[in-house]
Structure 1
Amino acid sequence: MPSPSSQSPERPRWFVAGDLNGFFGLVVDNLSILGFIAMALVGMFQFPAEVVFGRMFPGTAFGVLVGNLLYTLMARRLAQRTGRADVTAMPLGLDAPTSIGMALLVLGPAFLGFKAQGLDPQAAAVATWKLGMASLMVMGLLKLVLSFFGEAVTRALPRASLLGSIAGIALVLMGFLPLVEALRSPIVGLVTLGLLLYVLIAGQRLPIPLPGVLVAFIVGTVLYYGLGSIGLGAPGFTLPAWTPPQVVLPLPTLGFIDGLPSTVPYLPLLLPFGLLMVVGGINVSESARAAGDDYRTRDILLVEAFATLVAGLCGGVAQTTPYIGQPAYKHMGARSGYTLLTGVFIGIGGMLGIVSGLVQWLPMAVLAPIIVYVAIDITTQAFQATPQKHAGAMVLGFLPSVAYLLAIKAPGWIAPEQMAAMRTTLDGHGLPELAVILALGNGFIITAMLWTAAVVAMVDGRLLRGAGFLLVAALLTLFGLIHSVDPRGGVYLPWQLEGLARTISWQFVGAYLALAALMAALSLLPVRKGAAGH
């Protein structure tokens, strides 16, 4: 009998049963983000729906198609090279934080600004669309350049730093926010979530020969419209307005050139958006590696950048990113077929108007629970894949995500004039509380990585290394890449700041410098192991 090493590698199958669960999960992730973009632009800013669905969405969906096809090919190549049939493709989709930021901080305000210049709503919408395309090209080019430095970052930072920052996003933003959205229709949201947890976490099978995720979506959707139609649904139930689908081919266009001059005021937002995606791509590569699939970080980042550029060239307005739930899809049993199915469904569906129709009619109470599950799985994996002694450092890295959560929700809770007052009012007890929350939330992913890396270095007794991470944090704070005192999270030059904003920035810089100096001083002392608080 030949030895295992002499046998030819098993050729990976194109589709396995778990790919269906993965497909529905990844499709829902993308649809939920497209749904938010539509809700924000059409509902909040009164943006013409036909421009959103007919011009923005087809190109955006085409970027998802291109990226997922390339990640499918990468997974099959890795499976053939390693002889493993259980390789799971990296999931790619629209990035939630920056898509939210693009809708609320760039596209919406720009649309209002164009109207204020005297353009009619249709002309203002087209000008905003071109600005969105140009913004994607700017972010895509930045990501393309930074892709070649990703592996160096991976070598420099500990696994707890990479996975911990992702787990914080998962628990706080991908877990809590969608949970709240689901429970706005409690019966629908909780039943859908319960079915997903029964199938995906408890590992039980439903007495129906259909994928569990699909069953959960069908049950939730039927409940939502069934209860709503007889007056037993969540308060305020209404049928969504219908925009007829239209066939739109996302052909390349140079319209983004017209939008480039309009991007200049938004560069302080767009550049950090692109940088955060590179950092996120590094983290998800490490997450996949921890789950057993050793993708090259540079290749993951290059595909991400290329898909974003393709989307921008074809009319898209939201950047693509590798999703942080690759281990969750692996646990669903998905391999490489689910990304192929998702890319084709989102890409072709975007051209045919199917995606726009689903975005209008699938309730958020049904879409949100799958994101909650992915958040649970990501957080669990972060603890399982890092040394136990680094767990405390990783938990510390969750806290900047809490600040970001409060920062993005505060405008909906507090009137603008009150927000401005709360950011600048001194009460004799230090910096204004809201100003601290906003500064802590701005650049939260990088902050979480640096905090976790510094504490891991302390745990490992490498105090000078920890001091180095703190000095990097001080430098980034100086330019607003983290702890930006611009309420929108923009970057700036230190000498551009004035008044309280300058004070807050220098207080954070001084804090990092002081702690770095303390760590350097402690490194000179003989090593004395304490009881670690026990």
Structure 2
Amino acid sequence: MNYFSITRGDIDGFFGLMVDNLIQLLVLTGLCIGLCGFPLEFVTSVVLPGAAISLLIGNLFYSWQAYQLGKKTNRTDVTALPYGINTVSLFAFIFFVMLPVYQATGDYKSAWKAGLLVSFSSGLIEFFGSFFAEKIRKSTPRAALLSALAGIAITFISMDFLLRTFEHPLVAFVPLGVILLQYFGKVKFPFGIPGGLVSIILGIILAYVSGLLGEPIFQEGAFARGKETIGFYLPHLAVVELWEVLSFANVKTYFAIILPMGVFNVIGSLQNIESAEASGDSFDTKSSLLVNGIGTLAGTFFGSPFPTTIYIGHPGWKGLGAKHGYSVLNGIFITFVSVFGLMGILQAIIPIEAGMAIVLWIGIIIASQAFQASPKNHSPAVVAGLLPAFAGWAALIIQNVFFFLDGRLQAILLELETPKSYHFNLSDLSPHVPFLPYALGGVLSLSQGFLLTSMIWAAMVVFLLERDFLKSSLWALIGTTLSFFGFIHAYELAGNAILNRFAFFVSWQFPVAYLALAFLFFLTYLINRYSPDKKS
């Protein structure tokens, strides 16, 4: 198979991954401008070209990697690992680092430099994490690795886009139906037109028609604003700006964000590599994670404060029939759009509602894979591993609601020209009172480090199902260690920000509880081992 060949499945995969990447870039553009004071020109000329550099490096490498695997195994159905901006880090870095700096200084460049610092640090963790990640993958049950991804797929991917689908049914239902027809119903469209292309075209048409029916999707004047950003923007080397803020004191200030996000990226990428292997494509862990870190570092050097990652969704793209060409097309397209300042025009032409059907389908496939690729008797472990992601999603919703309410309060106070300062802060609530109607403390504790928590509990359940009580005890000890250092369950509230509280024994109940759990499982192991009838 020729490296430059493009298949029909690659075209479908390209439209899906392109829409996914565009959504991330549109979201970061809106947040940078709306929350951190970035001028549109700065985002267009500095941030987006820098992000394009990282995306191009990763997409080309993972495409080449898939091509080489196909040659080595004499296969033509190898699908490249998907790659893009890390969604969780995107929100974390904006809300917990860049926004507070902008609020404190009023200087968007200071906020941007702080973003460069945490992105660079996260990239280093990704880079060095590649040297020992394979050992983690081999010692962790598949159900534990895949269930965490399934939880993210159900919550952060499927639910978000499903809610938008039902918010705008006139626009979103038919494109979703097209995707379901092709990929679930195996229906082929006339002239071999890819379902992804049909879905987006119909979505654009329906978006315009919905405006005539009283449900406008497009923002007024968006096309005119988009035309203003068209130009030619070479990537801006930001090494000097990064060096200005690269100090031990600054790293220490944001360490509670840097460390969990870096570990999150490594573990998440590791889980996605396992997901690819479960789909039949076995990629080298070390080189995959190494280039993942290089992509983040390269983007940071050229002005992007947002880490990249191996994307969730490989089984979905494989289900589309995508091979290695879709990754090349995506990298070239995103680079072209960013270098020529076309993001504003695309935002005006293609509403998110027109393209999100493909992403929603990807989320469904990922969640399904966790059950299909794990041993049948491990399905309870998969369910156990899903649950922490729901807490992570709930915490994000709670936080966003409070940010919104506080913003509305500040707007009202500004209109009233009141000299008094009031804030609607999440930190003003006691975390141990009933809250909608669950205990807020439980939601926040479970949400912190939920990827790691998911792995721990799913692995414990796997080994309990296998009656390997010693290994269950060892995984409980891992929970003891991680909670002792604050990697999981430890949090603090600062205004409306939910921060990981990285400190020794800061939330003492959890290490003690995990230790008690480890003792219980170990005691069961001893009783089971030395009992005359070998029964526990």
Q: TM-score scaled by structure 1?
A: 0.89
- The secondary structure found in structure 2 opposite 1:315 is coil
Measured against aligned partners, the alpha-carbon deviations of 1:84-111 in whole angstroms (never above 9, x if no partner) come to: 1111111111111111222222222222
Q: 1:296 to 1:40 in 2, by over 3 A?
A: same
Q: Report the equivalent of 1:160.
A: 143
Q: Report the equivalent of 1:7.
A: none
8 A Cα contact 1:58 1:350, kept in partner: yes
8 A Cα contact 1:62 1:346, kept in partner: no
Matches for 1:446-465 after TM superposition, within 5 Å: 446-465=452-471
Deviates more, 1:405-414 or 1:437-446: 405-414
Q: Report the equivalent of 2:263.
A: 275
Structure 1 unaligned residues grouped into runs of 5+? 1-9, 116-123, 498-504
| CA-CA distance at 1:234 after TM superposition | 5.1
**Distance in 2, Cα, partners of 1:104 & 1:473:** 27
Matched, 1:437 2:443: yes
**Distance in 1, Cα, partners of 2:94 & 2:350:** 20
- The secondary structure found in structure 2 opposite 1:494 is coil
Residue 182 of structure 1 aligns with an amino acid whose one-letter code is: T
| CA-CA distance at 1:133 after TM superposition | 2.1
**Distance in 2, Cα, partners of 1:451 & 1:511:** 13
- The secondary structure found in structure 2 opposite 1:486 is strand
Matched, 1:256 2:229: no
- The secondary structure found in structure 1 opposite 2:151 is helix
Q: 1:331 to 1:475 in 2, by over 3 A?
A: same
Measured against aligned partners, the alpha-carbon deviations of 1:422-473 in whole angstroms (never above 9, x if no partner) come to: 334557x9x9811210110111111101110111011111111111111111
Matches for 1:198-209 after TM superposition, within 5 Å: 198-207=181-190, 209=192
Match of 2:335 among 332, 341, 347: 347
Match of 1:232 among 211, 214, 228: 214
8 A Cα contact 1:133 1:256, kept in partner: yes
Residue 502 of structure 2 aligns with an amino acid whose one-letter code is: Y
Match of 1:140 among 115, 123, 128: 123
- The secondary structure found in structure 1 opposite 2:50 is helix
**Distance in 2, Cα, partners of 1:157 & 1:380:** 20
Match of 2:206 among 207, 210, 223: 223
Deviates more, 1:20-29 or 1:131-140: 131-140
Matches for 1:93-492 after TM superposition, within 5 Å: 93-115=84-106, 124-207=107-190, 209-228=192-211, 230-233=212-215, 238-240=220-222, 241-242=225-226, 243-254=228-239, 255-261=241-247, 262-414=250-402, 417=424, 419-426=426-433, 433-487=439-493, 488-492=498-502
Residue 52 of structure 1 aligns with an amino acid whose one-letter code is: V
**Distance in 1, Cα, partners of 2:238 & 2:129:** 25
Supply the RMSD in Å over aligned alpha carbons.
2.3
| CA-CA distance at 1:162 after TM superposition | 0.7
| CA-CA distance at 1:77 after TM superposition | 1.0
**Distance in 2, Cα, partners of 1:432 & 1:215:** 43
Q: 1:256 to 1:84 in 2, by over 3 A?
A: same
- The secondary structure found in structure 2 opposite 1:523 is helix
**Distance in 2, Cα, partners of 1:360 & 1:260:** 38
**Distance in 1, Cα, partners of 2:218 & 2:316:** 34
**Distance in 1, Cα, partners of 2:355 & 2:245:** 33
| CA-CA distance at 1:349 after TM superposition | 1.9
**Distance in 2, Cα, partners of 1:239 & 1:251:** 29
**Distance in 1, Cα, partners of 2:2 & 2:42:** 45
- The secondary structure found in structure 2 opposite 1:489 is strand
| CA-CA distance at 1:486 after TM superposition | 2.3
**Distance in 1, Cα, partners of 2:433 & 2:278:** 46
Matched, 1:58 2:49: yes
- The secondary structure found in structure 1 opposite 2:392 is helix
| CA-CA distance at 1:263 after TM superposition | 4.9
- The secondary structure found in structure 1 opposite 2:528 is coil
**Distance in 2, Cα, partners of 1:179 & 1:349:** 27
Aligned residue pairs total: 502
- The secondary structure found in structure 2 opposite 1:483 is coil
8 A Cα contact 1:346 1:355, kept in partner: no
**Distance in 2, Cα, partners of 1:104 & 1:203:** 42
| CA-CA distance at 1:44 after TM superposition | 4.0
**Distance in 1, Cα, partners of 2:69 & 2:202:** 37
8 A Cα contact 2:122 2:258, kept in partner: yes
**Distance in 1, Cα, partners of 2:217 & 2:238:** 44
Residue 153 of structure 2 aligns with an amino acid whose one-letter code is: A
| CA-CA distance at 1:351 after TM superposition | 1.0
Q: Identity over aligned residues, as a percent?
A: 32
**Distance in 1, Cα, partners of 2:217 & 2:309:** 35
Measured against aligned partners, the alpha-carbon deviations of 1:59-104 in whole angstroms (never above 9, x if no partner) come to: 0121000101111111111111111111111111111111122222
| CA-CA distance at 1:13 after TM superposition | 6.3
Residue 492 of structure 1 aligns with an amino acid whose one-letter code is: F
8 A Cα contact 1:61 1:311, kept in partner: yes
Matched, 1:90 2:92: no
8 A Cα contact 1:422 1:433, kept in partner: no
Q: 1:413 to 1:301 in 2, by over 3 A?
A: same
Deviates more, 1:260-269 or 1:281-290: 260-269
- The secondary structure found in structure 2 opposite 1:248 is coil
Matched, 1:21 2:3: no
Q: Report the equivalent of 2:527.
A: 525
| CA-CA distance at 1:181 after TM superposition | 2.6
**Distance in 2, Cα, partners of 1:108 & 1:358:** 26
Deviates more, 1:241-250 or 1:514-523: 241-250
Measured against aligned partners, the alpha-carbon deviations of 1:473-515 in whole angstroms (never above 9, x if no partner) come to: 11111222111222433242226x4xxxxxxx22222221111
| CA-CA distance at 1:225 after TM superposition | 2.4
Q: 1:13 to 1:247 in 2, by over 3 A?
A: closer
Measured against aligned partners, the alpha-carbon deviations of 1:149-198 in whole angstroms (never above 9, x if no partner) come to: 11000111011111111111111111101222333322112222222222
8 A Cα contact 1:182 1:364, kept in partner: no
8 A Cα contact 2:208 2:217, kept in partner: no
Q: Report the equivalent of 1:501.
A: none
| CA-CA distance at 1:316 after TM superposition | 1.0
Q: Report the equivalent of 2:514.
A: 512
